[in-house]
């Protein structure tokens, strides 16, 4: 059964795209069929898996605005083991058009309906804003993964995001859940980080993933090579953290973890 997950946080620089790319690759490494949808006009997830956003004939923008069949825009990435619906700056036009259209919040849900059942996981990399694109993602999703840094301003941003999720739940997508909160770029030596982490656990309990993603040089370098960390340096702490996250998600959902990465 497919699970559609948005990775959302309106605050930039929290590791949202890094999480989207590396979680997709890690789930694929456990032999799950994964579709990554880049919903950010910056196209960073697209570039992060080795697809040149400047050379695309069609993108997810064409699916949203022109009714192009989603399957015709899918890129199968054998090295990473996932499929990609890419994005580039053209997606900015979709944001403007959706704001002017009636019932536009359902556009993405309708666009991926015919393709999502080909996969076990569909991961949507949302833009760093609570805009119409993010709203579309939340309406189309079963649950939300929230990557966040453990810092003071992150808590304020989290409150705004939770309000948006609750609004979507009460109006157009009553089944929307919080899949989990992921602590990223985590430094256990930082007292504030530990304090914020403790507050998250106190408030959200087991919705906070036990896995934490540390600051890691290899994780930061990998996008410049168009690879997830797992393919760039699989023994790095960043790559291992995302493998651990994939395993934690699968166990939460009551499915076995079959890892083909080792060796």
- Read off the pLDDT of residues 6-51 as tens digits, 9 standing for 90 and up: 999 999 889 999 999 999 999 999 999 999 999 999 999 999 999 9
Q: Are 29 and 246 in contact (CB under 8 A)?
A: yes
pTM here? 0.95
Of all residues in the chain, the percent with pLDDT exceeding 90 is 84
Q: How far is CA 224 from the centre of its chain?
A: 19
- Residue 4, CB half-sphere, CA atoms under 13 Å: how many? 21
CATH number assigned to the domain comprising residue 91? 3.40.50.300
Within-domain flag for 263: no
- Residue 95, CB half-sphere, CA atoms under 13 Å: how many? 18
Reading phi first (left if > 0) and then psi (alpha if -120 to 50, else beta), residue 81 is in left
Within-domain flag for 7: yes
Where in the sequence is the domain holding 226, given as residue range(s)? 3-251
pLDDT for 170-186, tens place per residue? 999 999 999 999 999 99
Within-domain flag for 113: yes
- Report how far residue 199's alpha carbon sits from residue 12's, in angstroms, rounded to the nearest whole number: 21
Mean of the per-residue pLDDT values of the chain: 93
DSSP conformational letter for 215: P
Q: How would residue 258 be classed by pLDDT, with cut points 50, 70 and 90?
A: low
Q: E strands along the chain, which residues?
A: 3-7, 34-38, 75-77, 82-85, 121-125, 143-149, 177-186, 208-214
For residue 164, what are the CA distances in angstroms to 126, 169, 184?
Answer: 14, 9, 22
Within-domain flag for 14: yes
The structural domain count of the chain equals 1
Reading phi first (left if > 0) and then psi (alpha if -120 to 50, else beta), residue 150 is in beta
* Residue 203 CB neighbour total at 10 angstroms: 13
Within-domain flag for 192: yes
DSSP conformational letter for 116: G
Instruction: Residue 45: name the closest of 23, 73, 67 by CA.
Output: 23
Q: Which pLDDT score is estimated for 173?
A: 97
| All residues at 6 or more sequence positions from 113 whose CB lies less than 8 Å from its CB, including other chains | none
Q: E strands along 108-225, which residues?
A: 121-125, 143-149, 177-186, 208-214
Within-domain flag for 226: yes
Within-domain flag for 22: yes
Within-domain flag for 93: yes
């Amino acid at each position: 059964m497919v699970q559609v997950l948005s990775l959302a946080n309106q605050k930039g620089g929290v590791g949202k795209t890094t999480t989207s790319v590396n979680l997709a690759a890690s789930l694929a490494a456990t032999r799950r069929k994964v579709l990554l949808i880049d919903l950010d006009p910056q196209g960073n997830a697209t570039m992060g898996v080795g697809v040149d956003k400047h050379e695309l004939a069609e993108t997810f923008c064409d699916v949203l605005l022109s009714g192009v069949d989603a399957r015709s825009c899918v890129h199968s990435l054998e090295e990473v083991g996932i499929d990609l619906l890419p994005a580039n700056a053209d997606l900015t036009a979709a944001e403007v058009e959706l704001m002017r259209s009636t019932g536009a919040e359902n556009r993405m849900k309708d666009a991926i309906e015919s393709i999502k059942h080909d996969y076990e996981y569909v991961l949507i990399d949302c833009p760093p804003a609570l805009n119409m694109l993010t709203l579309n993602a939340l309406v189309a999703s079963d649950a939300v993964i929230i990557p966040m840094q453990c810092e003071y301003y992150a808590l304020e941003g989290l409150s705004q995001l939770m309000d948006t999720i609750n609004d979507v739940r009460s109006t157009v997508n009553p089944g929307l859940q919080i899949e989990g909160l992921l602590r990223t770029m985590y430094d256990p030596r930082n007292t504030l980080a530990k304090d914020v982490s403790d507050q998250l656990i106190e408030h959200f309990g087991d919705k906070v993933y036990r896995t934490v993603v540390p600051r890691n040089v290899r994780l930061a370098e990998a996008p410049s090579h168009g690879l997830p960390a797992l393919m760039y340096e699989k023994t790095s702490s960043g790559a291992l953290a995302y493998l651990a996250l994939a395993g934690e998600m699968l166990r939460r959902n009551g499915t076995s973890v079959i890892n083909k990465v080792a060796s």
